[in-house]
Structure 1
Amino acid sequence: MQRIVFLDRATLAPQIALREPRFDHQLIEHDRTAPDQLLKRLAGASIAITNKVPLTKEILAQLPDLKLIAVAATGTDCVDKAACQQLGISVCNIRGYAINTVPEHTFALILALRRNLVAYRNDVLAGEWQKSGQFCFFTHAIHDLAGARLGIIGEGVLGQRVAEIGKAFGMLPMFAAHKGREGLGPLYTPWDDVLATSDIITVHSPLTSQTRNMLAMPEFRAMKRKPLIINTARGGLVDEDALVQALDEGLISGAGFDVTASEPPTEDNPLMRAAGRPNVVLTPHVAWASDEAQQCLADQLMDNIENFVSGAPTHLVHGAY
């Protein structure tokens, strides 16, 4: 019998069905798991499911029965994969489930900021429409998407989909060459050119030691067109203190973020302090979370587990096979 432990079931909405695996098993679900609860809960488990609960080398070394970590997300930075390789633990993740939900949320943020929807809504609530004395008023600039240059950092399936939607709006998408690298082929626009010429820059990269804080003050100072900065990927990709400084100095025209470096953010988090500005929209890491996408994720999660147990693993990030 396979003992399966889901460490943070509450990271999926309660209406999302999680089907039972089609093999002899015991499935135990915990809404959330604190670090000091990990060893007790995973004792004897052969399969652990985690979305964001960290699994470190120290913990993994004390779990001799563990054979698979099924990450209920695409990002696997919560798992010490080097330790898994040493210990013979396989790691799989979820892929392709967010092909609609994340790009749609990205454009929701772009449209809200490009057309100053938050600022206009605030004005309407404050009675400015009535005070204007006419059928409309012009307290904030409005810009079309058509003709705008869209800098995309990250050329995976999400970045590609964002480019497709951008083209449908009449935008000019550019995929940024990897920071510090040249000669990556015709798909890419040089990193410095993307910074200098984009009206909107949107981030769709994994968080690694190489990508952490890839956008900081040197990059913001190189942004000649004062672009919007959109991040629906990982908070650590952008230096948050530098972002707020760039807003203060007028180096960028606004920010739409669905993620912060630590989640949930503390009250003194730079983005939390800036969230009340009309040119800043902060949402609580929900770009991925349409009901349709979550159900796709849940189904693929169980597919991955069933396939591993059957001897034909799928979506391995690291495999002990």
Structure 2
Amino acid sequence: MKKNILYIAAVCMALGLSACSTDPEDAVEKHVYTENEAPYLRTDASANISTTAEFRKGHVSPKIINLKDYAETIQTKLGMTVDDMIAGLETGKVVFYNINTSRGIWDKTAPTKGTTGWYYNKSGQIVSKDSDAAGYVEIDKTTKSIVIGVPETSSAGVSFSATVGFAINNGQNYDNYVRFNIPISVTDPGLIMPVFKIPAGDYSVFEIKFADYSTAIEKCLGMTASEFNKTVQDSSGDIAMYLVDDAGNWDTTSKYTANGIGYWLDGLLKVTTWGTKGFSYFVETHDGSVGVGRAPGVASGTQTKFHFVYASKTDKSKFVEFVCNATLE
């Protein structure tokens, strides 16, 4: 009899210990969260969607995540189409919130940008004012997309992450969800700053070889240096050269005045034509290089900065930028 009592006590103790698990997944009946509570984030790796928003310094047009590109995941995890999910935001059937990944919970902070978005500082923390913001994330219900942006004055080096998610609002938890992990950064990978001397002599030129900057060309224009060189041999192609003024503005209206893709410049580095009074320099595209040269009569020892970009005509966010400091021998 004594043995039976000891056996029963041992079994009861084991059952009691197993019931002390703090893992929400182990609970017999899940906790129902109130409006003021932050629900835990149920682990579901297959609900994670990772994308990036990398901006170029000086050209920071908003990045767009088209939600219909992830329609299959949304259908699987939420049991609805993208259209239904966006409509659910209006009725309250679906919620859109930040996710605190370090604590593993949903962050129900009210929107600080419009009615469907938030501003973030450089540490990725939600802030209430655009003046304090390093970036933002918001929903565009009309286009059914997530829009990510940073201030126009953003410096290279900005880097933080935003994690947001859509979830079914069932009145108990947010266990059915899709999550977007969005690293946001501002970079300047296409800045090329050669320093060189233009040889003495009328129409002498220094050649900046594209192959020497193949990494920047490939990263910023999405093509190899060889492909880039082939493209810029045709002035009617997608790549254009634009001069850049001291304020950083691109001159997208001046017509080419030198051979192929290129310009003749006066002493103030304004576009001119060959033979016009004051014509002093030229910047023109050659086979395998961009040549920076001098006209007759420009004094030796003159120091000049040539500033221009090669950019896609159809997507101005794709460009390489040359800031050339030249001395005339």
- Normalised-by-shorter TM-score class: under 0.3
Select the structure of larger CA radius of gyration.
Answer: 2
TM-score with structure 1 length normalisation? 0.24
More helix by percentage: 1
Which of the pair has the greater relative contact order for Cα pairs under 8 Å at 6+ separation? Answer: 1
> TM-score, length-normalised on structure 2?
0.24
